Structure 1
């Protein structure tokens, strides 16, 4: 069910973004009296799922969800309609319009995507506000993975700042390390302020770990007191289910070993992989004991549920007027962060290209339960990504057409139709190769995670 919800959210988000992106091209084309022959959500090689004709335009839904398109008369695009280009230009065709009009038609989709992202962020902040966990409220410190431990951090450390600059939001720590390259981390341990250096190998190592999965490795998580945790959903065909453990039970100890923090419980169960243990339970005030064999993955087989109100979250509420600059600033921040990622992708040191993912990676960022706030936040971010990717100066993308149009505007010379055909083919081959590479990475990650 979780996978179906993720797929549903992804397809809905993609549909909204594709339709509005193509609507941007369509609107400017109509504004300048340029004929649009087709307007499609998703591609339709061979056949369409649905189509109808109104006026001079055929509207439809394709079966291949790799994007969408508008076919504009007199334009060399992915349709590669060479026969039309052999005929004399007509006044309603793209090639007959002034360069500045053709430029606006080509940037229309990207412009709509940027505007859409800002509008969504404004609406989200106005409707739900913004909630986050302040760094100072992570009162039990962090749980470190092996990479964090390798630079000197320990479980229970309380992170204060990066390069002596205070971090406000806990979830901003790892992205800040990744994108802004701080040289040190300041933290408190046993009420003493300490600092560790972040080596140059840290970001490449982080990306190498992340490339094995579908998201950025967290490095450190929030530490929870064990007493605040209880059994949530018990998984079928698990040691917990076979032993009769129920939702709401609390594991007091295992083999008479108690725990102060939940990460200590996880460390202990991993040390007992495949072994028989005696579990002491508290069930509605009654003490019980059950025997079970811990799985080879070091788990007993249940989800945890945590007491509410354990951490104090900060909540920002915005009036409609306040939400406008706040939403705009959030959009700019997301845009800036995404642009910084290109520096990582093209760096030979970080080898971030190994982390590039396709549709499985994008779909995995949506939550497993339907959450409209998360859905719209992710849709806004994907709209920014779509805009940036489309404006790249690659033939076959909007940015490729813009590049050639700028050349025409500056030099006064229009690239020949034959040159544009070859450029379009080159761009399509390049994009197809990138598509295979990104989704191939997804397949490799999926197979690795299945082992």
Structure 2
């Protein structure tokens, strides 16, 4: 059932984005008196569709090939490769008969709609929820670095106080793109010392492999007690119970939850002696550690910790005050994609590390329905789709736009033969890229599933 929910959210989210993107092209074309022959969600390859109907000379339908969607604009060389229509004389209601500036607007209208949609979604989410954050100054015991953070030199308990010399006000900003994509310098306090660490320019490769939570944990370093014990786990068998505090593992003092996790991993598949404080008394409990280095059964955790979290603050902006905040979030998503692609060209990131396809996107939606998360992701993907379609690749909106700009500079259109060949090259390139992306997603999932 969880897979069905994941795939269902993926299809719903992408369908919303594709329909609205193509609607942008459709409305712009109709506004300039250009005839539209088809409006399709997904592709009706080889003329086969799952559903279709005709209304006011436009065929609307759902294709069987889920690789996006399209509008077939009369008199335009596009993915339909309708050379027969192009062989006849140009008609006044065709795309090719209109001025270049009108055709350029039609080509960019889909991107425009995606940008507006992204801004609108982030605006509405901000208006409803505001912005919640934990003040960095309230992080009493510092951070918990993951595999990536440790690799670059961070240690548990470090307090990051500045990024590129500017004070950090929000703890969540430490996991932001400004830190991870801009080759930043972190100023941190470690005990009585203050030092600087530079975030590696190629950190995006590790983020792709391990996940952003392996840079710095979204939870700061915290003290803990046991909130509950999982029935049947080694923790329950050992006698651990709600309210207990584990203070040592095989004689090594434990104060914070990350310390407990680190110590237990040292004794995977072994039995350890836990010093447990209960009602001001200390008990020693021999406890089995599973292969994952936890106190669960075969592969699960055996305890649920209870933390005392730093106070979370919430800023409410009001309806119109939320607009610039939402627009800034949307633009941040757009610019982050540009930065990631830029790192590929600079040699700072591998192409297969910065891209994700349907499998990766479905995983992002998750196995449960959370509408705030759903719309946040749709807003994010809308900006990603806008950026992707602006790339100057033939068969994408950006490719068509480049050819139109060249036409406006030259004062005459490029030949139909050139545009047809460019369209074929672009379509083959996109199909090849889609196959690569699918394969890359599958490889990543297989690698993550390995122990």
Give TM class, smaller chain. Answer: 0.7 to 0.9
Residues 256-405 of structure 1 correspond to what in structure 2 (within 5 A)? 259-277=254-272, 293-299=288-294, 300=296, 301-302=300-301, 305=304, 307=306, 310-351=309-350, 353-405=352-404
The answer on whether the counterparts of 2:272 and 2:289 sit within 8 Å (CA) in structure 1 is: yes
The answer on whether the counterparts of 1:239 and 1:294 sit within 8 Å (CA) in structure 2 is: no
Q: Matched residues in 2 for 1:268 and 1:57: separation?
A: 66
Q: Matched residues in 1 for 2:305 and 2:314: separation?
A: 20
The answer on whether the counterparts of 1:118 and 1:328 sit within 8 Å (CA) in structure 2 is: yes
Q: Matched residues in 1 for 2:434 and 2:229: separation?
A: 40
Matched, 1:434 2:437: no
- What is residue 420 of structure 1 aligned with on the other side? 419
Q: Matched residues in 1 for 2:3 and 2:39: separation?
A: 30
The answer on whether the counterparts of 1:233 and 1:247 sit within 8 Å (CA) in structure 2 is: no
- What is residue 178 of structure 1 aligned with on the other side? 180
Q: Matched residues in 2 for 1:81 and 1:211: separation?
A: 41
The answer on whether the counterparts of 1:269 and 1:294 sit within 8 Å (CA) in structure 2 is: yes
Q: Matched residues in 1 for 2:412 and 2:128: separation?
A: 50
Residues 164-203 of structure 1 correspond to what in structure 2 (within 5 A)? 164-174=165-175, 175-182=177-184, 184-190=185-191, 192=192, 194-198=194-198, 202-203=200-201
After TM superposition, give the deviation of residue 243 of structure 1 in Å: 4.4
Q: Matched residues in 1 for 2:13 and 2:239: separation?
A: 39
Q: Matched residues in 2 for 1:67 and 1:409: separation?
A: 29
Residues 19-34 of structure 1 correspond to what in structure 2 (within 5 A)? 19-34=19-34
- What is residue 101 of structure 2 aligned with on the other side? 100
- Relative to structure 1, is the Cα distance of residues 303 and 275 closer, same or farther in structure 2, using a 3 angstrom cutoff? closer
Q: For each residue in 1:156-202, what CA deviation from the matched residue of structure 2 results, as whole angstroms up to 9, or x when unmatched? A: 111111222112332322422322222x3212233x35112327xx2
After TM superposition, give the deviation of residue 254 of structure 1 in Å: 5.5
Q: Matched residues in 2 for 1:133 and 1:217: separation?
A: 17
- What is residue 91 of structure 2 aligned with on the other side? 90
The answer on whether the counterparts of 1:223 and 1:262 sit within 8 Å (CA) in structure 2 is: no
- What is residue 130 of structure 1 aligned with on the other side? 131
The answer on whether the counterparts of 1:186 and 1:193 sit within 8 Å (CA) in structure 2 is: no
Q: Matched residues in 2 for 1:136 and 1:255: separation?
A: 34
Q: List gaps (5 residues or longer) in structure 2.
A: none
Q: Matched residues in 1 for 2:117 and 2:273: separation?
A: 56
After TM superposition, give the deviation of residue 13 of structure 1 in Å: 1.5
Q: Matched residues in 2 for 1:27 and 1:60: separation?
A: 17
Q: For each residue in 1:252-285, what CA deviation from the matched residue of structure 2 results, as whole angstroms up to 9, or x when unmatched? A: 3656766211111111221111223466789999
- Relative to structure 1, is the Cα distance of residues 294 and 26 closer, same or farther in structure 2, using a 3 angstrom cutoff? same
Aligned partner of residue 8 in structure 1, secondary structure: helix
After TM superposition, give the deviation of residue 322 of structure 1 in Å: 1.0
After TM superposition, give the deviation of residue 412 of structure 1 in Å: 1.4
- Relative to structure 1, is the Cα distance of residues 34 and 247 closer, same or farther in structure 2, using a 3 angstrom cutoff? farther
Q: For each residue in 1:386-435, what CA deviation from the matched residue of structure 2 results, as whole angstroms up to 9, or x when unmatched? A: 01110111100011111111111121111111111100011111112222
- Give the count of matched residue pairs: 442
The answer on whether the counterparts of 2:146 and 2:213 sit within 8 Å (CA) in structure 1 is: no
After TM superposition, give the deviation of residue 135 of structure 1 in Å: 2.0
- What is residue 208 of structure 1 aligned with on the other side? 205
Q: Matched residues in 2 for 1:12 and 1:233: separation?
A: 36
RMSD: 3.1
Q: Matched residues in 2 for 1:188 and 1:353: separation?
A: 35
After TM superposition, give the deviation of residue 373 of structure 1 in Å: 2.1
- Relative to structure 1, is the Cα distance of residues 309 and 250 closer, same or farther in structure 2, using a 3 angstrom cutoff? closer
Could you tell me which of 210, 213, 219 is aligned with 2:215?
219
Q: List gaps (5 residues or longer) in structure 1.
A: none
TM-score (norm: length of structure 2): 0.88
After TM superposition, give the deviation of residue 249 of structure 1 in Å: 7.4
